[in-house]
Structure 1
Amino acid sequence: MCDVPQQEQIDLLGRPVQKLVELIKELETLGVEAKNLPLPKIVVVGDQSAGKSSLIEGLSGIKVPRSDGTCTRCPLQITLYSAPDDGTAWSCKVSLQQKFSFNPNIDATIQGRYGKWREDHTPTTIPFAVVDDREALAGVISRAQWATLNPGDNPVKYVNADMVESMPMKVEFSPNKVILDITAPGQPSLSFIDLPGVIRQMTTAKDKWLVNLVENFVTDHIKQDNSLILLARSMESDFANSSAAALIDQCDGALSRTVGCLTKPDRWPPGTKTQILQSVLHGDAFAVGHGYFVTKQPDQLQLNNDISSEESRSKEDEFFAQTPWSNELQIFQDRFGTFKLRDALSKKLTHQILITLPKITRTVDAHLLEIETELAGYPDPPENALGKVLEALNVFRASVERHVHGTHPYNEMRNTLKGLANTFERNLHKLRPGLIVATPEGHRQAVNIPTFSLLSDDEDPTGTPCPTVELAELAQGGKKRRGNFNTPALASTSKRIKPDNTTVSKNSSAGNTGKRTFRLLEMRETLGKLTASGVPGEVDPLAVDYLRKETVAGWEPPMLEFITDVKQEIQNILDQLLEEACSQWLNTAFFSEAKKIVKVYIANAMRCQLEYAKRALTLEQRKPFTLNTKGFKLEQDNELQILQEGRTTQRLVEKLDAADRAAGRIMVDQIERKKKAKSDLKARADLGDDPFDQEVRVMAKVRGYHNIALSRFLDHVVHGINNEVLHDLETNLIQQLKAGLEVETGEAHERSKELLAEDREREIHRKELQKERANFIEAQHKLARIGQIGEDV
């Protein structure tokens, strides 16, 4: 056995000893132990049914809950304090220490030593209850343990719960502690941890990981160099089969730090020779570093009769006054009894604390220096962090206002948006309905004109143009009607004809998806199907409206393209302005979060504009409508002039080409022929009535309305961008930023410091280091104040 020098000089009831015990507990709370410095403690281990719970009751003078084994489902840390001699009554403060977090989604079979539990660096202590009635403590402990066995629940839920054992239990075991601080007169200062009993199997396969959890948890505690181990071994069991003892034996150096306690001596098998026990107490068999003590706790009958702590110790004294304890084993009398074990543990723990204090002090000083060095790389945000944030936001606001107003030289965004609007207008104009003014095939044959099909708007079959309306517009002096229109070029005379009898598809013109190009005969057939009147020459207005709706069906793609491009352009400009305003803080959460807020704001604003544009498009596509009588008539008359001019020119070209073929003459250059057809007024007058004049007039109505609707739709969409989105950027964006960044709350100053850190992870780590530094400075102060205790004891 290992004797400790000067132990007998230690005043077990003295205040210096109590302060040493308090110090170690406070250092643990401050997270000192997390820095690979196990603090001195006593850990109580034993197999299930080794009498460990009864031993804990004897040492602490309390009763622990015994229903359904809950007292072994989580560690119980008990600290005994000696009350001053001023009449202070017994009391116990119960709290919960949370050092481990539980994740039920982790696969416990492959994850770590503690399965679904993860250790945090600094423990959190939560007050649970203060108990003044010793008899009521067992129920409070049970409720505290149930709160611990339901991680994630609010502990308050369990403080006053009735029948807690009937409530659900999320986990079978928890490495988090229930802490009891017991103050009572006449008891030595002592602190120990009751660990869950070592188990070998669980009821269900899914809980097998708990066997490893408990074993690893116990092993990790007994491995700690500064800990004393109290091993409970039942005298009714075979010593050689103790799982807890086997764990101690497997850890280097643990056996020398172990105090053995033989329990249940009343159940020592009859006939067992006293010599066996003597060899154990002498240290010749199953030896442990600090030898064995023997204690006798109440049996089940006595427990059922609610035997008091005082009666238990009296019965224990009576037991050891019997044979063989009082005669054959008399030389070991100083090791028989719970109080003798308790006093010895207090002396040994105090000695262990004293010899460890210098190392603890050196470790705290060294780690504090490491923290200070690391914190030097995490400079504090500027003192006036909130002022810096608001200053940058004001710079951004002013820049946005200048670009919204668009005054030179801040007109980049306005000019770009204007260009996108012009592109949108051109794309819509490309979708204006076209009309192939060439005479249909069957009607040509009547005048000996070969049949052909138009392969595309640019092709020039048989050397004779068959223009769409865009080509017909060139009849007016070769000029385009509108500056923004993309008019297909005149067909090249090098193009080849491709005889075919197929009709032109809806989207065959100019490669524009959604564009409708009509043939004269197609127009006639459509009007015939949709007109109910039997009077020749009559056209049903419903037929005209049908054609009008057909021509606006393809407006959605250019609209979506415009909305998307505008959104991206505004986003790019604002990103640039924000980057300029936050140029000093580009690597901070301030810039990254502000950028996200701006992006979301623009996305929401443009989503509203998209809905607005879709509604306008739906109105245009549902039913033709306009009150702009004068504008509509002007557009319709202009379109009719263009169509009739193009149709007349085309008819004359066809007539001249037919005459050349009939006479066997060589075909002339088509461009020259078209010029001649435009200028030969007499030949044009001799053409007579156009058999497709009605179709031409209907197309003029369709195109005239299309121009009116296009202009109205264009204004709707573009106007919404200019008068809503840009206006909101100027008036509401900055407020949205302040709200999103939380710089107008009561915590604005702290929030601004967090925002101006280089990044959120660094700021979080900086705060953790600051908290750790504060804890270790406090630990340093506590160690300095305790410095004289070693001399006192």
Structure 2
Amino acid sequence: MANPYIKLERPPTEHASRVFNDSATSDSCSYTTSDTSTMTAPSPAPGAFDMCNNHDHVSQPTQTNGTQLDLLGRRVQKLVQLIKDLEQLGVETRNLPLPKIVVVGDQSAGKSSLIEGISGIKVPRSDGTCTRCPLEITLYSSEQNTSWSCTVSLQQKFSFDTEASPDGRYGKWRENHTPVTIPFAIVNEKHELETVLSRAQCAILNPGDDPLKYVNASSGDVNDMPMLVEFSPNKVILNITAPDQPSLSFIDLPGVVRQMTTAKDKWLVNLVENFVTDHIKQGNSLILLARSMESDFANSSGAALIDQCEGALTRTVGCLTKPDRWPLGSRTQLIKNVLHGEAFAVGHGYFVTKQPNQLELNNNISAEDARQSENEFFAQAPWSTELQDFQDRFGTFKLRDTLSVKLTKQILVTLPKITRTVDAHLQEVETELSGYPDPPENALGKVLEALSTFRVAVEKHAQGAYPYNEMHNSLKGLANIFQSNLQKLRPGLIVATPEQFRQAIETPTFSLLSDDDAVGTPCPSIEPRFQKKRRAEFETPTTSTAKKIKSDNATPRTGSISIAKKKTFRLLEVRDTLSKLTASSVPGEVDPLAVDHLRKQTLVGWEQPMLEFVDSVHQEIQTTLDQLLEEACAQWLNTAFFTEARKLVKAFVANAMRNQLQYAKRALDLEQRKPLTLNTEGFKYHHDKELQILLEGRATQRLIERTEDADRAAGKIMVDQSERKKKAKADIKTKGELGLGDDPFAEEVKVMAKVRGYHNVALSRFLDVIVQGVQAEVLHELETNLLQQLKDGLEVETRDAQERCKELLAENCEREIRRKELQAEKTNFIEAQRKLAAIGQIGEDVGSQSDN
């Protein structure tokens, strides 16, 4: 048996002349065959099914050698094929269901036998397999002298997720956008089809397996194979070509399930019911309802579903099955009422068919003999006597031919709407697809062009010339903040004389109010001096900080930086340190190691602002480069090219700043390890300046203390101390020390001048080193090495660079999947447009015959 799918397009016989009347005002459509037999059925208004009354009349055409003449011909056959093609192209949506016939019935209603009778085939019956997935059968008419043939395909429109919750409308099944048709087998002998069909349904019921695994499986293997699912909404498709059969396509839906074997499969009950209901609701569908005459009509589950769907009854053709099991006598009147449309009425009335009984099936009765047996059955009473008025509705072929007529008419009236919907949807797809560009043919050139644009932009911003100075201004702002934070850590000195070195005089309690000035005079307490120590912390005013750049472009992108606490010395603390660390026994000698010890104490807090400066610079540079890369790759933001390039840039900047951080830490370590400077002039300048400030501050404080002591001895109370401070400062500047005598802490003041002077020199040097590292190393690295890093990382200079760049410029995973979906959908809908345009003339030809 050949496996590849072969599309059969054999021309049908044209031995019958046809008259088709389908105008909006006509009452019937007639098909006249060569033997003058005529079939008549009501004609619908355009865009709707023909909602005939229950007295519709269909006459049986003459049969020749047990086969039915092709009533509709080759043109109508192409209409049926068109609908199948459109469905496979994904044109069918919930908003536009394509015309079709859906077969509904209970599992015990003889639906499978009815399908066999209409199609002339045998379906699997073991273990109820035939009811577990929909079966779509399409009949085509071929040349008179050609043989019977059937192509079997699997249509996968739903995927099964074992991990999904079964609470959805279709349980664990998920509907895909476009159905996928998988060729399965070609069968040229009728007796082989039942076995092939069992294999196909077994493949459908084991989603995830390779369907071809089941093609050549033996019958025993198929019966023994476990089924992953009890039911699948995916279809087995049969395209049957045979001489002298009408063009017809219908879907056999599984019978409605009321309970499952195991509790874990209870979700399948709702799944099957929802699946059948969704097909019934499709407004363009014709419903064939099978009802067993051996059962109570009122208990039909399939009929109940149809009745619950608004408008579905008017689209329903009824078929009474198993008439050989119908109790004669008392129920004859009920059947008359049903056929007259007075009981259990449906829009298109009822037909009655008789299929082979179990004995005939066991004897492998042929399709031709089955139809002959059916004719003989309806030639008997009461069908030929009491019910003879309904003879035109007795027989499988009469039902089949009527369904073919009605389906064809519905296709014709639906074509304009299908065409409009396809055109509109194609335009929507093309609009959306415009946002998903294809990778360019010259992918390498596009990548190199974007990288070159990025390199030029980086160079301009690294150099900082206007108007590309935003990053430079931000870095300068960060450097100014860094400088300010370091200056706030300049060591302080409390210049107040320790209490034990001042004359203790018992005086009444008094209060002094003070305002802090630049020299840091302490606020005297209202308590006696022996109850609370008073301190005057001396600090020089910080040097003027660079003003913040007002331009928004120059504003650093970091917030305020937390500052470590500065070191503040006391005079006695300085004296004790000098005493402990000076080895000389000569009075007045100061060991340089002691001074260096004090200097190193003032540098302890530099690490925190240094780390925050480096981190802020890192953020600023990274933000700028991200922006420049985004601008250079604006057309490729949703591609791997941009994603990978951004990662490479981030890694490059991180590495450069990591090196810079190590460089900064080494510079700080050198500063804290050993005080050293060869900047003699700079150190002398800062030392002399600090010495002058400290001496003046110390003298002012001593004068204030002497005045306080004198007033206290005289019992005076000074309420406003600010005046005293101002007067003391003025006197020191104009009159000198005014007989204060030698300062017992003069040596300590001189040492602190050396400490503060060196701190100024070291701060300036450290600041320059750290900021220069950013300018001279990091920005230089961006200019010289970043581009090559990108080329190496993106592999755009390799032998396969062109293919590599095509991969890079492809959309990201989700967008690429969507782009391909849209492309496939566009291709399908363009093909649908072509088929609709090609079929247009056929439809006009069929419809124009109404004018004849």
Query: Does TM, scored on the shorter chain, surpass 0.5?
Result: yes
What is the alpha-carbon distance in structure 1 between the residues aligned to residue 131 and residue 571 of structure 2? 95
- Superposed, 1:495-644 pairs within 5 Å as 513-520=563-570, 524=574, 548-568=603-623, 606-608=653-655, 611-612=658-659, 614-616=661-663, 630-631=677-678, 644=691
Aligned to 1:359: 413
User: 1:219 Cα deviation (Å)?
Assistant: 3.9
Q: Does 1:294 align with 2:344?
A: no
The CA deviation string for residues 302-334 of structure 1, in whole angstroms up to 9 with x for no partner, is 87x7x65x4576478668867x97444346799
Q: Aligned partner of 1:80: which letter?
A: L
Q: Deviations over 1:529-548 (max 9, x none)?
A: 99899999775989976764
Q: Given residue 251 of structure 2, which amino acid in structure 1 is its aligned partner?
A: I
**Per-residue CA shift, 1:264-319, capped at 9, x if unaligned?**
456556997666656656766545534322333464x987x7x65x4576478668
Query: Relative to 1, partners in 2 of residues 1:358 and 1:696: Cα closer, same or farther, differing over 3 Å?
Result: same
Conserved? CA contact 1:97–1:125, under 8 Å = yes
State the distance in 1 between where 2:360 and 2:69 align. Answer: 35
Distance of 1:670 and 1:155 partners within structure 2? 105
Alignment counterpart, residue 461 of structure 2, candidates 386, 393, 404: 404
Distance 1:643 1:467 in 2: 15
Amino acid at match of 1:348: T
CA distance in 2, matches of 1:65, 1:654: 113
CA–CA distance in structure 1, aligned partners of residues 146 and 242 of structure 2? 10
What amino acid sits opposite 1:127 in the alignment? I
Q: CA separation in 2, counterparts of 1:737 and 1:131? A: 50
Does the Cα contact within 8 Å between 2:135 and 2:251 map onto a contact in 1? yes
Aligned equivalent of 1:76, options 124, 135, 139: 135
**Contact 1:545 1:623 (C-alpha < 8 Å) held by counterparts:** no
How far 1:783 moved relative to its partner? 3.1
Distance 1:378 1:7, change over 3 A: farther
Corresponding residue for 1:125?
A: 180
Alpha-carbon distance in structure 2 between the residues aligned to 1:768 and 1:530: 89
Cα offset, 1:244, TM superposition: 1.5
Deviation at 1:516, TM superposition (A): 1.2
Correspondence 1:696-775 to 2 at 5 A: 708-727=765-784, 772-775=829-832
Counterpart-to-counterpart distance in 2, 1:652 and 1:23: 109
Alignment of 1:98-177 (within 5 A): 98=157, 108=167, 123-132=178-187, 133-147=192-206, 169=228, 173-177=231-235
Task: Report how far residue 414 of structure 1 moved.
Answer: 5.9
Query: Of 406, 429, 453, which residue of structure 1 is paired with 2:486?
Result: 429
Report the secondary structure of 1:3's partner residue: coil
Give the deviation of 1:44 after TM superposition. Answer: 0.9
Matches within 5 A, 1:393-472: 393=450, 396-397=453-454, 400=457, 403-404=460-461, 406=463, 408-413=465-470, 415-417=472-474, 419-439=476-496, 441-442=498-499, 444-445=501-502, 459-461=520-522, 468=538, 470-471=540-541
Q: Are the aligned partners of 1:325 and 1:333 in contact in 2 as well (CA < 8 Å)?
A: no
Could you say if the C-alpha distance between residues 708 and 349 of structure 1 is closer, same or farther in structure 2, counting changes exceeding 3 Å? Answer: same
Q: Which TM-score applies when normalising by structure 1? A: 0.70
Aligned to 1:229: 287
**What is the rounded CA distance, in whole Å, between the counterparts of 1:684 and 1:761 in structure 2?**
92
Q: Residue type of the partner of 2:108? A: S
Q: 2:299 aligns with which of 235, 241, 262?
A: 241
For residues 146 and 245 of structure 2, the distance between their equivalents in structure 1, rounded to whole angstroms, comes to: 14
| Structure 1 unpaired stretches of 5+ | 474-479, 487-509, 583-587
In 1, the alpha carbon distance for the partners of 2:267 and 2:582 equals 84
For residues 766 and 197 of structure 1, do their structure 2 counterparts lie closer, same or farther at Cα, with a shift above 3 Å needed?
Answer: same
Check the 8 A contact 1:636/1:705 in 2, yes or no. Answer: no
1:533-565 CA distance string (max 9 Å, x none): 999977598997676434434433344344444
Give secondary structure in 1 for the equivalent of 2:57: coil
Q: How does 1:252-331 map to 2 (within 5 A)?
A: 254-255=312-313, 257-265=315-323, 268=326, 286=344, 288=346, 289-297=348-356, 299=358, 308=364, 310-311=365-366, 314=369, 326-330=380-384
What per-residue deviation string (whole Å, max 9, x for no partner) do you get for residues 82-124 of structure 1? Answer: 4556665644221214279989878957xxx76787767x642
| Cα displacement (A) at 1:691 | 4.8
1:21 equivalent to 2:80? Answer: yes
Unpaired runs of 5+ in structure 2?
Answer: 1-54, 63-67, 525-533, 548-559, 715-723
Q: Where do residues 380-391 of structure 1 align in structure 2 (5 Å cutoff)?
A: none
CA contact 2:687–2:754 (8 Å) conserved in 1: yes
Tell me the equivalent position of 2:5. Answer: none
For 1:652, which of 699, 719, 729 is the aligned residue? 699
Shift in CA distance, 160/484, structure 1 to aligned 2, threshold 3 Å: farther
> Following the alignment from structure 1 to structure 2, what is the Cα–Cα distance between the partners of residues 19 and 226?
18
* Residue 206 to residue 634, structure 1, CA distance change in 2 (3 Å): farther
Q: Please report the RMSD computed on the Cα atoms of aligned residues, expressed in angstroms.
A: 6.1
CA distance in 2 between partners of 1:145 and 1:80 (Å): 22
Counterparts of residues 80-99 of structure 1 (less than 5 Å): 80-82=139-141, 84=143, 88=147, 90-98=149-157
Relative to structure 2, which stretch is displaced further, 431-440 or 81-90? 81-90
What is the distance in 2 between the residues matched to 1:199 and 1:145? Answer: 19
Partner of residue 779, structure 1 = 836
* Gap change, CA 1:619 and 1:298, over 3 Å in 2: farther
Structure 1 contact 549–623 (Cα < 8 Å) conserved: no
Once the two structures are TM-superposed, the CA of residue 194 in structure 1 deviates from its matched residue by 0.8
Find the aligned partners of 1:119 and 1:374 in 2 and give their Cα distance. 21
Write the distance in 2 (CA, Å) between the matches of 1:443 and 1:29: 104
The answer as to whether partners of 2:322 and 2:355 remain within 8 angstroms in 1 is: yes
Code of the residue aligned with 2:611 in structure 1: it is: E
Amino acid at match of 1:55: L
Residue matched to 2:276: 218
Deviations 1:626-660 (A, max 9, x none): 79965588887776655555444444334444444
Note the 1:25-40 alignment, pairs <5 A: 25-31=84-90, 33-34=92-93, 38-40=97-99
Tell me which moved more, 36-45 or 531-540: 531-540
**For 1:603 and 1:750, how far apart are their aligned partners in 2?**
21
Q: Kindly indicate whether the alpha-carbon contact (under 8 Å) linking 2:105 and 2:291 is maintained by their aligned counterparts in 1.
A: yes
Rounded Cα–Cα distance in structure 2 between residues aligned with 1:514 and 1:442: 30
1:431 touches 1:554 (CA, 8 Å); kept in 2?
no
Q: For residue 569 of structure 2, what is the amino acid of its counterpart?
A: R
- Partner residue in 2 for 1:489: none
Q: Is the 8 A contact 1:65 1:141 kept in 2?
A: no
The whole-number CA distance in structure 2 between the counterparts of 1:280 and 1:328 is 15
Q: Secondary structure at the match of 2:409?
A: helix
Q: Indicate how the Cα distance of structure 1 residues 236 and 445 shifts in structure 2: closer, same or farther if over 3 A, else same.
A: farther
Q: CA deviation at 1:614?
A: 4.9
Q: TM-score, normalised by structure 2?
A: 0.66
Residues 334 and 749 of structure 1: is their aligned pair in 2 closer, same or farther, counting only changes over 3 Å? farther
CA contact (8 A) 2:199 2:215 kept: yes
Aligned length: 732
User: 1:294–1:337: 8 Å Cα contact kept in structure 2?
Assistant: no
> What letter matches 1:461 in structure 2?
P
CA contact 2:102–2:280 (8 Å) conserved in 1: yes
Query: Does structure 2 conserve the Cα–Cα contact (< 8 Å) formed by 1:96 and 1:127?
Result: yes
Distance of 2:832 and 2:665 partners within structure 1? 67
User: How far does the alpha carbon of each residue in 1:161-217 deviate from its partner, in whole angstroms, 9 at most, with x for none?
Assistant: 9769866747x6554433222345675543210112224456789977755554454
Q: Is the 8 A contact 2:464 2:472 kept in 1?
A: no
Distance (whole Å) between structure 1 residues aligned to residue 453 and residue 506 of structure 2: 71
Structure 2: which amino acid aligns with 1:520? R
Matched residue type, 2:780: N
